[in-house]
Amino acid sequence: MPRGKIELGSVETLSILDCKGTVDEGLMPLLDNKTLLKAYRLMLLGRRLDEQAMRYQRQGRIGTFAPNIGQEAAQVGAGLAMKKEDWFAPSFRELGVWLARGMTIKNYFLGWMGIEDGNSGLKGTANVPVAVPVATQCTYAAGIAWGIKLDKKKAACVVFFGDGATSEGSFHEGINFCGAMNLPAVYFCQNNQWAISTPRKKQTKSETIAQKAIAYGIHGIQVDGNDFFSVYVASIEALKRAYEGKGPTLVEAITYRRSVHTTADDPRVYRSEKEEKEWDEKDPIHRMRSYLEKKKILTKEDNEKLEAVIAAEIKAGYVEAEAYRNSNIDPLSYFDYIYKEIPPYLKWQKEIARHHLKGRNVIKGATEPVKGTGGAAAVGQLEEAED
């Protein structure tokens, strides 16, 4: 075979709203003012909710969590594009999508308080719980998409992940399977430039993440992730492809994590103040507000009133969550949600934890099951110690 070339395709790019609030009218989606204000409200609520949660975390009122500050347009744009029937497979940084799909502020806080009941709103929905292990959701999202296809439903599974997840095997396995089986899936990458302390340039030699779609024979597009309109349009198009049986799409939303990776992180250790300031001008909320003000859809007075309403909603939601936490709930109930039937080793751990909470350490050095006995025997030993 002589030397030759195989044309592998190209990657689309999309940007509609610039940093000064001006749009390309030819690319604008048809959205009424009510929807535009809803989008802005969700973005602002997400920002203020994260900021207040940061204060609560520093005060010890909630646990470690991952703020979404700076990524609101990517999340709300995708979230509002999705139908109720579309499955949502999140990572741990998709507050905007959660809010767009109806999560309450109370349940948001319960989740970061470590109370499993924060997931109570998932029953009967097409939303699955947060996935903390990086990229794992990319594999079971493929399973969900396969189920949608087998059931012949007009829906899709939208899975969210960061740029760091594209270095994990689970991402490649999931997206390859979806491509091979022509499944109704949207792989949505929030490329926020940092995988904790690892910069995007050290994640891959590829010029873009979107071009990885070419290797799997699917459609890929890179959008301005700080532009609500670009994200919304790209998401609508990707979902339409999925509904019509044209297979999965990889969406790369270029954005920036303006805050910490999690509240256990200090980004100033690995990134510069100069870099952070350069992204200030691209802030998604400022851009959206500028557009709405130019179009006289939102006034400064309207925005001030909205800020006050949102602040009150956040406070009320936290009060609800705190009252629930202080009620007679079992703090160890999270053990019961891992398996349908709790296995012996987890039963052992739960009982040991219960005794620690009571201030009674009845098994010396009880940090792991007794060697050679297994979880069931350890529970028996605990019961004997109680007698």
Active site residue 261: yes
Same domain, 35 and 183: yes
> Residues 219, 276: one domain?
yes
Whether residue 3 is contained in a domain is answered as no
One domain for residues 337 and 268: no
Collapsed DSSP state (helix, strand, coil) of residue 161 = strand
Contacts of 19-24 spanning 24+ positions with Cβ under 8 A: 19/281, 19/282, 19/287, 20/287, 20/290, 21/287, 21/288, 21/289, 21/290, 21/291, 21/293, 21/294, 22/291, 22/294, 23/229, 23/291
Give the residue from 298, 325, 352 where a domain finishes: 325
Question: Could you give the percent of the chain with pLDDT greater than 70?
Answer: 92
Mean pLDDT lowest among 62-66, 133-137, 158-162, 382-386 = 382-386
Does 140 have pLDDT greater than 80? yes
Residue in 47, 48, 257, 258 annotated catalytic: 257
Identify the pLDDT of residue 360: 54
pLDDT tier at 346 (50, 70, 90 boundaries)?
A: very high
Q: Are residues 156 and 186 in the same domain?
A: yes
Is 270 catalytic? The answer is: yes
Do 236 and 30 form a contact (C-beta atoms < 8 A)?
Answer: no
- Per the residue annotation, which of 261, 287, 289, 291 is the catalytic one? 261
Question: Would the CA dihedral through 50, 54, 59, 61 be positive or negative?
Answer: positive
pLDDT value, residue 171: 98
For residues 257 and 367, membership in a common domain is answered with: no
Residue 282 counted as domain residue: yes
Q: To the nearest whole number, what is the mean pLDDT of the chain? A: 92
CATH number at residue 150: 3.40.50.970
Asked if 270 and 354 sit in the same domain, the reply is no
For residues 342-348, give the mean pLDDT: 94
| 276 in the same domain as 157 | yes
- Region 315-327: mean pLDDT is 96
Tell me the pLDDT tens digit for each residue of 3-42: 999 988 889 999 999 999 999 999 999 999 999 999 999 9
Predicted local distance difference test score (pLDDT) of residue 373: 42
More confident residue, 370 or 167: 167
The domain in which residue 191 lies consists of 12-325
- Interior/surface letters 59-85, b for 16+ CB within 10 angstroms, e for the rest: eebbeebbbbbbbbbbbbbbbbbbeee
Total domain count, the chain? 2
pLDDT tens readout for residues 276-314: 999 999 999 999 999 999 999 999 999 999 999 999 999
Residues 57 and 152 in one domain: yes
Does residue 1 sit within a domain?
no
Over 80: is that where the pLDDT of 385 sits?
no
* Predicted TM-score (pTM) of this structure: 0.90
- Cβ atoms 106, 121 nearer than 8 A: no
Residues 99, 193: one domain? yes
Whether 5 is covered by a domain: the verdict is no
Candidates 34, 21, 50; CA nearest to 226 is 21
* Domain edge (last residue) among 303, 325, 347: 325
Assess whether 345 and 292 both reside in one domain: no
Q: Which of 270, 337, 356, 360 is catalytic?
A: 270
At residue 338 the predicted structure's pLDDT band, cuts being 50, 70 and 90, is confident
| Residue after which a domain boundary falls, among 276, 292, 325 | 325
Residue 58 bears catalytic tag: no
Identify whether residues 298 and 375 lie together within a single domain.
no
Task: Tell me, yes or no, whether 308 and 373 share the same domain.
Answer: no
